[in-house]
Structure 1
Amino acid sequence: MIVKPKRLQKGDTVGVIAPASPPNQENLRRSLFFLEELGLKVKLGRHIEKEFGYLAGKDLDRLEDVHEMFEDKKVKAIICAGGGYGTARIASLIDYDLIRKNPKIFWGYSDITFLHTAIYQRTGLVTFHGPMLASDIGKEDADPLSKQLFNQLFDPISIDYNEQISPLEIMIHGNVSGTLIGGNLSLLTSTLGTPFEIDTKGKLLLIEEINEEPRSMDRMLNQLYMAGKLRDVAGILVGYMNHCIPNRKQTLTLDEVLNDYIKLVNKPALKGFKIGHCSPHISVPLGVTATMNTYEKQVMVEPGIQ
């Protein structure tokens, strides 16, 4: 059963956590002004300033912040400060019954992909793939459109992605609907063989990536293909591939790698979405129905809130 979280109201409190790597604290502080401009109050995770190597505190610290924000009835949404690495380390420790009993907005991307997948598959809760506070919104050159799309948390608006936002390339023609899932390719691949292995059957799969050369992209796509995850999809949305360039002379291009697997899958596919590690970053709900029409170069995503 799909569960849409309740919409935000002016004056609501949002929780801010760092479930992966330590966020840039200066950017984080700057981003809090943005939340206040939206008419929101902020509750910071108790461990948000902690550092433990490449992690924002020890696993139990980050887990505690996740649980506390879902448990607090005053907190109406949870927005992640940043990504990096670490969410998979706490996925098996999360109390999903707690989340199921306290459904609320959960927002982030990149390493947060693992939590998006785990939460949706264990609870049916719709979550949001969108720019994060310290990583994106708190930067001095944060894009206005990235900020504007936070409005979908207040009003149940559909996302109409067409070429007015960015040029889209048709990879395989088709008109298809399905539940939108996905996110960062590395994190999706890392779910395989775990209790949180991504279920792609009949779904529209969104993929995006950063700092992976074509050979690594090939490896991950091949693993998803051999595991049947690419063959099971209804369609594919290829998001932004940031700095996914070769560091060797003898190589395939990223386009060649992507085209190989899209042709193997032979399901409707569009490429060029400004979703992922990019600016602007178009935020979309995951777990809702989306419709892709390659002939019109358009994807319609239904609202993620009720």
Structure 2
Amino acid sequence: MGVKPQRLRKGDTIGIIAPASPPNQENLQRSFLFLEELGLKVKLGKHLYDQYGYLAGEDKDRLADLHKMFMDREVKAVICAGGGYGTGRIASQIDYSLIKNNPKIFWGYSDITFLHTAIRQQSDLVTFHGPMLASDIGKVDVDPLSKEYFKQLFEPTSIQYTNELSPLEALIGGKASGEITGGNLSLIASTIGTRFEIETKDKLLLIEDINEEPRAIDRMLNQLYMAGKLTEAAGIIIGDFNNCVPERELSLQLDEVISHYMKLANKPALKGFKFGHCSPHISIPLGVQAELDTEKGQLIIDSGIKE
């Protein structure tokens, strides 16, 4: 089991960084109000508002913001403003010993998946897969449930995801337990062949994605299958695949593609979870123990912070 960070308390300071693409500024400003409602103070990364093409500043500057937030003893959590693209570019330059020696809450999803995997495997820190400030929380129409799950950072709480949250469907029956790993499928696939290659052996693998045609999902799942990542997993958690629809007349449907690879993997697999680019977006810790039960239609996840 990974190292769990300390819980948050009212009055704590949160560090905000943009390690990938430039965040929507209006949404970002609105999200600060939510953090203030939680009783938190915000400290902004020096390069939070930088723009360098499709990146939120040059690699060295985004890296510097990440390092500074983990070094800053006043900062109790590091929250990502948004995703997009870019975290894989800085992964090999991160000082993981710095993170290991200064464990604190790290929160984000989508492109941040690369950092979740790298940080977890290089420093043993439990991180959080959850909605980001500019991408989700600061939107005018944000679902209250997306905000609700931030409370797990203040009080150790086991997350019990059942059909009451969203309809769940078993693709392969059975029970499985293990640490949760994964996140965005595109980013998981991009780790293969690198020193940050995702480790799935005896773990529960979470997958989700957005705006990818079924043939692209097929390609990435096939890569994971051939690399042994699906068959090594204890079970598979299928999150939201937002707008993953065919753009051509001749195509398999998304459900056909996912079902094909779940049958090949032949591990307990449950789909329908509101994890990913969806609303509401339920946040969960990565690197903690969880139990998947397809018969009961539930996923029980240990708390991600220290008791």
Q: TM-score, normalised by structure 1?
A: 0.99
Cα distance in 1 between the residues matched to 2:86 and 2:243: 22
Alignment of 1:22 onto 2:27: no
Matches within 5 A, 1:43-62: 43-62=43-62
The aligned runs of 1:89-238 (5 Å cut-off) are 89-238=89-238
Distance 2:279 2:243 in 1: 13
Separation in 2, partners of 1:221, 1:17: 31
Q: 1 CA distance for matches of 2:249 and 2:28?
A: 39
- 1:283, CA displacement in angstroms? 0.2
User: What's the offset of the Cα at 1:2?
Assistant: 1.8
The CA distance in 2 between the partners of 1:52 and 1:201, in whole Å, is 38
Deviation at 1:15, TM superposition (A): 0.2
Q: Write the distance in 2 (CA, Å) between the matches of 1:256 and 1:2.
A: 35
CA RMSD across the alignment: 0.5
Deviations along 1:107-127, one digit per CA (max 9) or x if unpaired, are 000000000000000011000
Instruction: Please name the residue that 1:41 is paired with.
Output: 41
- Per the TM alignment, residue 22 of structure 1 is displaced from its structure 2 partner at its CA by 0.0
Residues 194-223 of structure 1 show CA distances to partners (whole Å, capped at 9, x for unaligned) of: 110000000000000000000000000000
Structure 2 residues not aligned, in runs of 5+: none
Give the Cα separation in 1 of the matches to 2:216 and 2:193.
19
Q: Does 1:294 align with 2:302?
A: no
Counterpart CA distance in 1 for 2:51 and 2:195 is 28
Render the CA deviation track for 1:39-59: whole Å, top value 9, x for unaligned. 000000000000000000000
| 1:175 CA drift (Å) | 1.1
TM-score by structure 2 length?
A: 0.99
User: Take 1:131 and 1:2, find their aligned partners in 2: how far apart are those partners?
Assistant: 21
Q: Structure 1 unaligned runs (5+)?
A: none
Q: Secondary structure at the match of 2:93?
A: coil
CA distance in 1, matches of 2:145, 2:222: 34
* Inter-partner Cα distance in structure 2 for 1:116 and 1:305: 16
Equivalent position of 1:68 in the other structure = 68
Partner residue of 2:241? 241
Distance in 1 (alpha carbons) for counterparts of 2:109 and 2:163: 23
* Over 4 Å off, 4+ runs: none
How far apart, in 1, do the equivalents of 2:302 and 2:147 lie? 19
Three-state SS of the structure 2 residue aligned to 1:92 is: helix
Q: Which amino acid counterpart does residue 207 of structure 1 have in structure 2?
A: I
Amino acid at match of 1:78: V
Q: Distance in 2 between matches of 1:100 and 1:26?
A: 34
What letter matches 1:237 in structure 2? Answer: I
The one-letter code of the counterpart of 2:228 is G
| Residue deviations 1:81-126 (CA, integer Å, cap 9, x gap) | 0000000000000000100000000000000000000000001100
Matched residue of 2:230: which SS?
coil
Take 1:211 and 1:10, find their aligned partners in 2: how far apart are those partners? 38
Query: How many residues end up aligned between the 2 structures?
Result: 306
Cα distance in 2 for residues equivalent to 1:251 and 1:147:
37
State the identity as a percent. 69
- Is it true that 1:260 corresponds to 2:265 in the alignment? no
Describe the SS at the equivalent of 2:229: coil
Superposed CA offset, 1:24-65 (max 9, x none): 011101100000000000000000000000000000010000
- Secondary structure in 2 matching 1:34: helix
